[in-house]
């Protein structure tokens, strides 16, 4: 029986590389590409089937920054599938990134230089907008849209006889100090990307606590520093090419510089082969690359407490409840 894998953000970057690598691991998979741009998704589908003709590849349109889109996609998926073995929650944004040059230079001459260079902690800010749903854009895209997708697909994920696995694309940039339970959408801060990735870590831990007994497991992974459209928003491709010799040198001291989407998927593919019940829910699994270019997987304990994770989960449930009430009122009035 074919394993069924749903991947959000599958048409480019890490998501596309993940599709290719998963089919290299198991050419009998059914991949469902959940993408915003359907023309790109169909082009990827055609290319994947050309290289792996025994696989099944389908597409579904979903924009995780739009709840109506998430609800519609969920409805379609429940009509087309009986279960998902894996869901890779990979889609994400980092809008209008700005480097704090002063903080960067101060950091480069400190003991934390390599850490700052490989995580961008404290030196990267973003400005964002409010979505049509009235939510902060980064929060809705990276966290809440995926949360609603999971909630809508529970019947396809919770099977105690055969576990399903959620695998989130998190980040080494997920910093506890950038997240607050009093402002889960990070509307008052300047580092919404970091906050959203820490929120993903919290949510994964809470999902394990609430769903493991029902056969659903959750893990978080970090692809490392990968050169994609996301990172090209921070520095232009030309600037990245100029500093590449420095990055190659730093690889001998820090393993986070995976650089290519293929390398960045190492931990995501490794998780595909693990029994989810054997994994530690308090660990983040990291794609890593040595100075000589060899890929491997390492792990790091997530800097959180489980009470905060559960409180955040309950906050999401309350937000979901409020939104569903609003949607129902709108329907009744129309």
Q: Which residues are catalytic?
A: 193
What is the Cα–Cα distance from 52 to 54, expressed in whole angstroms? 6
Decide: helix, strand or coil at residue 182. helix
Identify the CA nearest to 17 among candidates 260, 225, 233.
Answer: 260
Identify the CA nearest to 204 among candidates 318, 140, 280.
Answer: 280
Looking at residue 178, the DSSP 8-state letter turns out to be G
* Token output for 308: 């905060």
* Token output for 277: 């019940």
Which residues lie closer than 8 Å to 176 by C-beta, 6 or more apart?
198, 303, 304
Sheet holding 283-289, edge to edge: 56-61, 30-35, 4-8, 86-89, 164-169, 216-222, 283-289, 295-301
What is the Cα–Cα distance from 234 to 231, expressed in whole angstroms? 5
Phi then psi for 222, rounded to 5 degrees? -120, 125
* Token output for 97: 């990134």
| CB 123 within 8 Å of CB 105 | no
């Amino acid at each position: 029986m074919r394993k069924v894998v749903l991947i959000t953000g599958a048409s480019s970057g890490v998501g596309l590389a993940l599709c290719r690598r998963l089919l290299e691991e198991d050419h009998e998979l059914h991949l469902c590409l959940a993408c915003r741009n359907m023309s790109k998704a169909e082009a990827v589908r055609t290319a994947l089937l050309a290289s792996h003709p025994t696989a099944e590849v389908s597409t579904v349109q979903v924009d995780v920054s739009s709840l109506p889109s998430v609800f519609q996609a969920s409805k379609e998926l429940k009509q087309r599938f009986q279960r998902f073995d894996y869901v890779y929650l990979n889609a994400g944004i980092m809008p209008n990134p700005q480097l704090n040059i002063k903080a960067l230079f101060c950091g480069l001459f400190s003991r934390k230089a390599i850490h700052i260079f490989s995580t961008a902690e404290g030196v990267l800010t973003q400005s964002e907008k409010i979505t049509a749903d009235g939510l902060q854009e980064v929060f809705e895209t990276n966290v809440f849209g995926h949360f609603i997708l999971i909630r809508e697909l529970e019947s396809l994920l919770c099977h105690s006889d055969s576990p399903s696995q959620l695998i989130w694309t998190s980040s080494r940039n997920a910093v506890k100090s950038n997240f607050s339970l009093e402002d889960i959408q990070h509307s008052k801060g300047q580092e919404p990307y970091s906050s959203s990735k820490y929120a993903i870590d919290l949510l994964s831990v809470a999902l394990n606590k609430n769903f493991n007994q029902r056969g659903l497991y959750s893990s978080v992974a970090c692809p490392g520093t990968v050169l994609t459209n996301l990172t090209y928003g921070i520095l232009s491709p030309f600037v990245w090419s100029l500093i590449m010799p420095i990055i190659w040198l730093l690889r001998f001291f820090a393993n986070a510089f995976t650089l290519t989407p293929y390398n960045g998927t190492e931990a995501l593919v490794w998780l595909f082969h693990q029994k989810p019940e054997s994994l530690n829910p308090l660990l983040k699994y990291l794609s890593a690359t040595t100075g000589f270019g060899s890929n491997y997987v390492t792990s790091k304990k997530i800097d959180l407490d489980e009470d905060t994770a559960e409180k955040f989960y309950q906050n999401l449930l309350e937000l979901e409840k409020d939104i569903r009430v609003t949607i129902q009122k709108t329907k009744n009035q129309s």
